[in-house]
A and B are shown apart, each in its own frame.
Chain A
Amino acid sequence: MRLELVRRPRQSALFSVLSPFIALALTLIAGAIMFAFLGKNPVTALYYFFIEPLLEVWSLHELAVKAAPLILIGVGLSICYLSNNWNIGAEGQFIIGAITGSILPILFPEWQNAFVLPLMLLMGMLGGAAYASIPAFLKARFSTNEILTSLMLVYVAQLFLDWLVRGPWRNPEGFNFPESRNFHADAILPEILPASGRAHWGFAFAIIAAVLLWFVLAKTLKGFEVKVIGQSPRAGRFGGFSRARMIMFAFLVSGALAGLAGISEVSGAIGQLRPTISPGYGFTAIIVAFLGRLNPLGIVAAGLVLALSYLGGEAAQISIGVSDKVARAFQGMLLFFVLACDMLIHYRVRLVRSPVRDATAFEGVEKNA
């Protein structure tokens, strides 16, 4: 027996919708097997992982807190990946955005008024965009591989943040802990519904960004440009679109959104700078982007799912004593399944019995059009 792929005459609309769900289901099955290996009852474990966090209002707020950066970064990345720009350094852009956004409350703590917060958000976006412009410029100017440069800059950003909070930006009243000073009240991103939980306006930014970018991608000439250049750079050039400008555009947009995510996280969820401000949001957002099939609205849903896996990891650690590292393994597995299932959109899978001549097709649910 061997596996054979037959290209569909056109993309399957059915599997475009179904494939993320199939991937999720497969991940759950694989997760159950993994829990069984760890000696836990798979049903209980999955319950604590994926159901329990949804049962309390405060917990839903936490979901929104974690989903906000994932969605913000994920929709930015979708523009990059659709235009064939492999920005995998969003984690670094997130960190730099958090740093530049924190300049006002940390260096000018006495300057307290209503302008501080908008300026912080703006500076965060500018910082993230500026940091993303480095790999973008190198790619546009010298064709330097953006995958490697953007990733290397993540390590540099992490070390830079570490230096800041241990050195020049360390809280003078902080008992030598590696932390910046706490942000003053005007520098804190407010909660949306303070009465019921911690969800801050970052989540609203995420939704706004997703809807906005969905419009751009689906309805405008710019979105058309993104897709053409991503599918075929030569066709893009024939259409009169500039590859270099698209590289800059994609990186600047995604860098700005990652920066916004960074400063929102710091000013909304943490309230100060620390050596580590992200549990890998910038990398998890890659998974979010693909699970959402690079569609900004799909990415909103995908961001919630991945945020749930973070929460579930914490919950499962408390309730059944499995490591919260399990969540990261889950997330990586999910991306595998997403990619594997996306193949169903373009190909039909046939199992062929060797010897060759009597091919039998397993055509799945769909009839070949």
Chain B
Amino acid sequence: MNTTLDSGRAPLLQARGLTKHFGAVTACDAIDLTIAPGEIHALLGENGAGKSTFVKMLFGALEPSAGSINWQGKRVEIDNPAAARRLGIGMVFQHFSLFDALTAAENILLSLDTDEPPSSVAERAREVSNAYGLPLDPYAHVGDLSVGERQRIEIVRCLLQDPQLIILDEPTSVLTPQEADRLFETLERLRAEGRSILYISHRLEEVKRICDSATVLRQGKVVGHCDPSKETAASLARLMVGDEVEGARRQPKPVEAGRRPLLHVKNLNRPAAHPFAVTLHDIDLTVHENEILGIAGVAGNGQGELFEAISGEATQDQPSVIQLCGTEAGLLDISKRRRLGAAFVPEERLGHAAAPNLPLSLNLLLSRHQTDGRAYIGSAGFIRNSALARAAARICEAMDVRKGAADPAASSLSGGNLQKFVIGRELDRSPSVLVVNQPTWGVDAGAAARIRNALIALARSGSAVLVISQDLDELFEISDAICVMHHGHLSRPVPIEEATFEKIGLLMGGSDASEPGILEETA
């Protein structure tokens, strides 16, 4: 199986039979992987394939249940991240491992095993960041920085340790296309310096573009090694997913489709509710019947705040700011907005869309006790458990939710299955307006396709659908038009026929001359 060592040089790192069990679940099953010096090696696999678990073992953050690691030909035990760093392994985490309350320099200092004063660390950080074109302010508090800036801190922190191997876990998932390009330049420079990079991704195009070799994981097992430049995106996808997964198909809107606006947001302003929140400025948007409007943007630009404002979790001062199906709803709370025919799916599945320890049937009640009250709640407020259980079973059936028990707690479902349930719960009502934040975040390919198709089907049946997503591929797949959020401003919609990655990417970075509002903000 080991095909990557054509260069004949001694491998930098070799993992042999690396295995990790979590209780009864095997996250990684005897994984072999070899990284040569000076190569960018891709670790490919869809969500839940075991990529993150595997690299955490390489970095000493998780303890392998079995298997061995060789570093520069010698067998090593990597008990903790400090040991990994001593060997020369650095890691840039997907969900950054930074401390919001500390400064950039303090964050960097924590991962260095020296007793340097913060000022000298700050100085070195500045040097490294200038050398690699990753500008950062060492004295800024991380909590105040954007995701792109945070990633720079992580990379600079990693580089200060002069690593031989840098592990990057889904680094582009939080970047605009242009920021990703700059990252690739940095990575190529590092490769030229003779360092190796283990690049984790499920984005095939970028793997094809920058990686020298690839290892593909599926369900915790290695299913192949290959040279990505010699593969097609389709062949890589087949390796990753197994069977051919049918992508969502956006049929063009019927020409004679109605254009009645069902969701209308007019001049929405919302001050930041807490120190880490984003202020919303003058947001206007309209979603018509039969239409899916996508909202792109880098995380933390006000998408969550916009969702709360539309859902009514945060209400407005003026009734006219939000209109649902022709009714002014700005003053109404979320239950009343639901009764007007709207439905909502927030980004966070556990703890926002669902109460973790309650069974699915009661989680069904969570969003529907006001809209279908009489079906599920008897006189004097008694809950009709059997009706709820039947409805929950119906939704699981319709969305193919796989579960271990008849009515399990929400937290016992996998992310993809819970997301299918949460979306199915709203679709089951046939809402006139559906607002979804990150519909397929962290969801496996099969579930994602099912969810996207369901959203398209809902729109084609006459509803208005608003999809907020960081995943540009997804938005291009399903939207009829795309707006971009940046710093709490929303761009005008770009019809899908005119939208390109380039154009949307520029808007995500906040720089497009045709959008005066955005220019003011970045100036």
Contact = CB atoms under 8 A, between A and B. Distances in A.
Contact of A238 (B334, B370, B404): B334
A240 B382 contact: no
A339 to B, nearest CB: 18
Given A237-B313, A238-B313, A239-B367, A232 B355 contact: yes
Contact of A240 (B66, B346, B348, B370): B370
With a 10 A CB-CB cut-off, give which of A10, A221, A368 has the most chain B CB atoms: A221
A359 B352 CA distance: 36
A367 to B, nearest CB: 11
A238 B311 CA distance: 8
B245 interface: no
B383 interface: yes
Size category of the A interface is 20 to 34
A238 B370 CA distance: 12
Interface in A190-243: 219-222, 224, 227-228, 231-232, 234-240
B354 interface: yes
Given A219-B382, A220-B380, A228-B358, A238 B352 contact: yes
B63 interface: yes
A11 interface: yes
B110 interface: no
A234 B352 contact: yes
A238 B357 CA distance: 16
Contacts of A237: 313, 334
Looking at chain B, what size class is its interface with the partner chain? 35 or more
A239 B358 contact: no
Contacts of B104: none
Contacts of A6: 23
Interface stretch (B285-293, B405-413, B428-436): B405-413
Given A10-B408, A240-B335, A220 B23 contact: no
A333 B136 CA distance: 53
Given A10-B412, A240-B334, A235 B369 contact: no
Contacts of B405: 10
Given A10-B412, A240-B370, A227 B355 contact: yes
A9 interface: yes
A239 B369 contact: yes
Contacts of B365: 221, 224
B367 to A, nearest CB: 6
6 contacts: A224-B362, A231-B357, A231-B358, A235-B353, A239-B366, A239-B369
Instruction: Give the 9 A-B residue pairs with the shortest CB-CB distance, closest first.
Output: A240-B335, A220-B381, A239-B366, A232-B351, A235-B355, A234-B352, A231-B355, A240-B334, A221-B381
Interface of A: 6-7, 9-11, 219-222, 224, 227-228, 231-232, 234-240, 356-357, 359, 368
Given A231-B355, A237-B334, 12 more contacts: A9-B24, A220-B380, A221-B369, A224-B362, A227-B355, A232-B355, A234-B348, A235-B352, A238-B344, A238-B352, A238-B353, A239-B369
